[in-house]
Amino acid sequence: MSIILASASSRRAELLKKITADFMVVTSSVNETLITERDPVRFALAAAEAKAKDVGTQFPQSTVIGADTIVVLHDTILGKPSGIENARAMLHTLSGTTHLVITALALYAHDENKLLLTYQTSAVTFKKLTHEMIETYLARGDFDDKAGSYAIQNVGDTFVSAAEGDYDNIIGLPVETLRKLLEAFMTPLLTLDIIDIALPDGYGVAKHEGGVIFIPQAVTGDTIAATIVKEKPRLAYAHMIGLTALSASRVTATCPHSGICGGCILQELNYPEQLRLKDRHLYQTLGRIGKIDTSRVQKIPITPSRHQYFYRNKIELSFSTRQEKAILGFKERASGAPNQEAIIPVSQCPIANPRVPEIISRVLEFADAADLAAYNPHKKEGVLKRLIIKEAKASGKLMVILVTKQAAVTRYAQRLHEALSSIEPIESLCWAIEERDDTRSFEQKILIAGENCIRERIGDFSCNVYPETFLQANSETAPRLYEHIKQHLGHDEKILSLYCGSGLLELSIAHASQEITGIDTNANNISCARENCQLNNITNCNFSPGKAEEALKKKRERDCNTLILDPPRSGLSPEALRRVCSYGAAKILYVSCNPASLARDIAILAKPYHLASVAAFDMFPQTGHLEIVAILRKKQ
């Protein structure tokens, strides 16, 4: 079968020669300006498909390759310029930014009625471009047929400070992706209709021959071509080769690491669908695991996050090794395939502070210059463990914490300070020592530069954030959760709040209750909570270190008539559950970030209590997680 490239681009033709020299070039007559799709990925795929089909109808026995490359900045598509003024405006817009370059591919065989679509995303960071730099480039006349008005191979280091992802993709044809797509196009593939997305891992779900298949990156409503990578009885995992039809819910992922990073697994699903999916998953889990009749429970509509990106006040990156150099990244997305990487390198994180890419880059440069290796827990070698970046959203001030295995390496502290000193939002720079592998607890903290804490404001309350301070990750949505809890309290209530962290929830509801006692096992959290009480002139909150199980032994029903439970993701221990049941509080407010452990615990609490209401708060857009408040009342 002959291959045709439906593109007049000489760059694409040269790149295609890396795969095969046996192809013909036929330019399509498609006018890209007539494509009405506004989502970047949908636009690029529609253009690539239109080009492939336009030429494919003329050569019905051939395999036609359609391609379309676009530049995307803040969801705005920058295609080919209409003239020099438009090109000038584009380059000024791209100056000093990190933008996406998306190339969509379409393979089409008319006589076989066969279509296969895919796309690749890369990221390009421009330097600050001066007027002279732009005018010199425009005078060369290289801009007129280039997406975003530039060709990376022509501007090189003059414009570009960093390029991430497939370089061929930025030029206009992702060679390795196309090679795999062509190979798959010539072989039988499974065609699967995606009927659902399974949380918390975000797998697309398809039914096939009486079994269920899980596919990462697939969206409900997609029709995909796939190959099986792992099989179990009546269950399989598949790898998506390409799309044959797009879901109406599919959108462009903002992050170039989407699909391989295990964090933001829902980036390719539009936000209303994310909310619907999470809400449904919550109540299905309560029914399946907790055996709860949710029809008898007041279901409060899920509260969305006002911002879907740049919302996190903390991220924690892990060090690992790639090609004998230290990298920083997150866990790889689960796919069911064997031999997955534990940590995949990332250069940015669009749900965190915009200065994160610069901090990552500077820290890795420092590690390389100091010849510091990532810690390997299996070999017990290396020193670098984690990089933690915290942000006070109210001010934009940052705290950076480098976590290492050995105290001896702190002799490099001054060099780390020099590497990061020009990043002005960094108000606190710390070096933390963590010798143990079985727990995340700092044996030693060294303040390298700046303040020992950063000041945050959550709703109406200020709080000091230290290296080990626990806060809800979404500073903007947290007050809405606290307000919901406050609405279910009376001024005569005495509250025992277990797993209180740094006390922000307790401070936020203090004026709505008579007295609050907060308990947490972490002494640093308790110290911070007490300090925050003084900072906000709160006099009816008391905080003490201790275990929840012990606190429930000491307190009697006459002391506290309301319990607030905010345990870790794993939920309550069996002993804590027994003691909560026997404690006898009239009301329990259970805060959880894990529907499964919440459902398990409520199933046990349901003996002396009935579940009155459930409210969900989307603290974690783009991920499979959410925060939940369940209110239980004692049975009469």
Estimate the share of the chain in helix, then strand, then coil, as percent rounded to the nearest 5.
Answer: 30, 35, 40
Task: Tell me the mean pLDDT in the region 497-509.
Answer: 96
Neighbouring residues of 353: CB distance < 8 A, sequence distance ≥ 6: 310, 312, 389, 391, 396, 398, 425
In single-letter form, the type of residue at position 134 comes to: I
Write the pLDDT tens digit of every residue in 390-445: 999 999 999 999 999 988 888 999 999 999 999 999 999 999 999 988 888 899 99
Rounded Cα distance, 198 and 237, in Å: 13
Rounded Cα distance, 215 and 228, in Å: 9
Spell out the domain ranges in the chain: 3-185, 190-250, 275-307+471-634, 314-458
Write the pLDDT tens digit of every residue in 192-231: 999 999 999 999 999 999 899 999 999 999 999 999 999 9
Phi and psi dihedrals of 374, rounded to 5? -65, 145
Write the pLDDT tens digit of every residue in 346-397: 999 999 999 999 999 999 999 999 999 999 998 999 999 999 999 999 999 9
Extract the tokens encoding 353. 């502070």
Neighbouring residues of 477: CB distance < 8 A, sequence distance ≥ 6: 303, 305, 306, 311, 617, 618, 619, 627
Sign of CA dihedral 185, 188, 189, 191: positive
- Band of pLDDT at residue 606, cut at 50, 70 and 90: very high
Question: For residue 437, what pLDDT is reported?
Answer: 87
Q: Are 595 and 286 in contact (CB under 8 A)?
A: yes
- Which residue, 447, 462, 430, is CA-closest to 363? 430
Rounded Cα distance, 87 and 136, in Å: 13
Q: Are 106 and 52 in contact (CB under 8 A)?
A: yes
Question: For residue 183, what pLDDT is reported?
Answer: 94
Residue whose entry in the numeric block shows the structure tokens 């804490």: 453
Give the CATH number of domain 3-185; options: 3.30.365.10, 3.40.50.720, 1.20.1280.50, 3.90.950.10. Answer: 3.90.950.10
Domain 190-250 is of which CATH architecture? Beta Barrel (2.40)
Task: Tell me the mean pLDDT in the region 284-313.
Answer: 96
- Which residue, 186, 169, 41, 40, is CA-closest to 107? 186
- Which residue, 310, 326, 519, is CA-closest to 404? 326
Rounded Cα distance, 615 and 627, in Å: 9
Question: For residue 338, what pLDDT is reported?
Answer: 64
Q: Is 68 a catalytic residue?
A: yes
Rounded Cα distance, 207 and 470, in Å: 42
Query: Could you give the percent of the chain with pLDDT greater than 90?
Result: 89
Asked whether residue 71 carries a pLDDT value surpassing 90, the answer given is: yes
In single-letter form, the type of residue at position 534 comes to: Q
Residue whose entry in the numeric block shows the structure tokens 């989502």: 39
Question: For residue 340, what pLDDT is reported?
Answer: 60
Rounded Cα distance, 410 and 404, in Å: 9
In single-letter form, the type of residue at position 94 comes to: L
Residue whose entry in the numeric block shows the structure tokens 């192809």: 23
Same-fold call for 190-250 versus 314-458: yes
Identify the active-site residue in 22, 39, 54, 68: 68
Task: Tell me the mean pLDDT in the region 484-507.
Answer: 94
- pTM here? 0.91
Domain 314-458 is of which CATH architecture? Beta Barrel (2.40)
Asked whether residue 300 carries a pLDDT value surpassing 60, the answer given is: yes
Rounded Cα distance, 261 and 469, in Å: 26
Write the pLDDT tens digit of every residue in 583-602: 989 999 999 999 999 999 99
Packing angle of the helix pair 413-420, 356-370 (nearest 10 deg) = 140
Write the pLDDT tens digit of every residue in 106-155: 999 999 999 999 999 999 999 999 999 999 999 999 898 899 999 999 99
- Which residue, 523, 624, 498, is CA-closest to 573? 498
Per-chain mean pLDDT for the chain: 94
Q: Which fold has domain 275-307+471-634?
A: Rossmann fold (3.40.50)
Rounded Cα distance, 475 and 394, in Å: 9
Neighbouring residues of 159: CB distance < 8 A, sequence distance ≥ 6: 126, 127, 129, 133, 137, 150
Write the pLDDT tens digit of every residue in 551-579: 998 765 457 899 999 999 999 999 999 99
Q: Residues of 146-168 as b/e, b for ≥16 C-beta within 10 angstroms?
A: bbbbbbbeebeeebeeebbbbeb
